[in-house]
């Protein structure tokens, strides 16, 4: 399991690129947290 807190500066990388990378390595759960400011 991976839990990632997303910032505006890294949103695309965290939501798309890293999700695909983790899936390729067998991560079954990828939680994305987008905090309200």
pTM over 0.85: no
3-state helix, strand, coil in the chain (%, to 5): 45, 20, 30
DSSP letter at 9 equals: G
Cβ atoms of 9 and 34 closer than 8 Å: no
Cβ atoms of 8 and 36 closer than 8 Å: no
Q: What is the pLDDT of residues 1-37, one digit of tens each?
A: 888 788 888 888 888 898 889 999 999 998 988 887 6
């Amino acid at each position: 399991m991976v839990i990632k807190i997303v910032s505006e500066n890294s949103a695309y990388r965290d939501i798309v690129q890293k999700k695909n990378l983790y899936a390729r390595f067998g991560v079954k759960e990828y939680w994305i947290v987008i905090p309200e400011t």
